Chains A and B, each alone.
Chain A
């Protein structure tokens, strides 16, 4: 009788440990995913005016833009922003034209979030006219400020 209850207690302990471990594991996975997304946004924050000016056609360009105007057929123009701190960007006079399509990967938002005043990080292929064919657009509106 006593041995039976000891066995039951042991089994119960094992089940509880497994359940707690499961909750901790899922929570750790959630933290990891949040960190990954946050890291993606942080990496997206990098923007360099000189580097972009020197970029050759066909190379990969990464810029942060404040959307100035939207044109039909998936094109917009934005003012190039330069990173000052993690959350503060400074406007430059450079205008960059961006072409995006249904294949463009949208992070932290939807195509509807690309509107005048929106802040976006664009990764894409530099064209001959120094525009960008966007491969990925990260919506940073609300997370960074422009000075």
Chain B
């Protein structure tokens, strides 16, 4: 039963963290939302420096998601789970790793073709969100 608790808790925390991770750049950048809430810093720090909470939340998310996948796989409790949901979860984990790679590349301010990378980062986030939603719907 402990494995159920760890898998369930890590999964829900990861889902919440995904939401926070998505919102963070909109709060850290100068956007309508950040202006409204007053969350955008005016201390003159460069934009990529201000994005640090977004980077760290991403790293934590990778650890949590891996743990969430590892616990039931290790205990062999996958037998009765919906297979389509598990495929969505696998896709989400792969997308998360791809997303982390894109994010790491975007940390370089001099990255050539930056706009294209940012666009991929955005659309990968959308695909990731859909996969996670499907996984939650089918397996939670």
Q: Which residues of A contact B (CB under 8 A)?
A: 5, 8-9, 11-12, 15-16, 19, 23, 26-27, 30-31, 33-35, 37-39, 41-42, 45, 86-87, 109, 113, 139, 141-143
A34 touches B1 (CB 8 A): no
How many B residues touch A, CB cutoff 8 Å? Answer: 26
Who on chain A is nearest to B78 by CB? A142
Q: Is B8's CB within 8 Å of the partner chain A?
A: yes
Interface residues of B (CB under 8 A from A): 1-5, 8-9, 12-13, 15-17, 20, 27, 37-43, 77-81
The verdict on A11 contacting B38 (CB below 8 Å), with A23-B20, A31-B13, A38-B2 known, is yes
Whether the pair A42, B80 counts as a contact (CB closer than 8 A) is: no
Residue of B nearest to A25 (CB): B16
| Alpha-carbon gap, A15 to B38, bound state (A) | 8
> For B4, B42, B78, B81, which residue has the most chain A Cβ atoms within 10 angstroms?
B4
The 7 closest A-B pairs by CB, nearest first: A30-B12, A38-B5, A34-B8, A34-B9, A142-B80, A42-B1, A142-B79
Complexed CA–CA distance, A75 and B19 (Å):
44
Measured CB to CB, the closest approach of chain B to A145, in angstroms, equals: 9
Q: Please give, as numbers and ranges, the residues of chain A lying within 8 Å of B77 by CB-CB distance.
A: 142-143
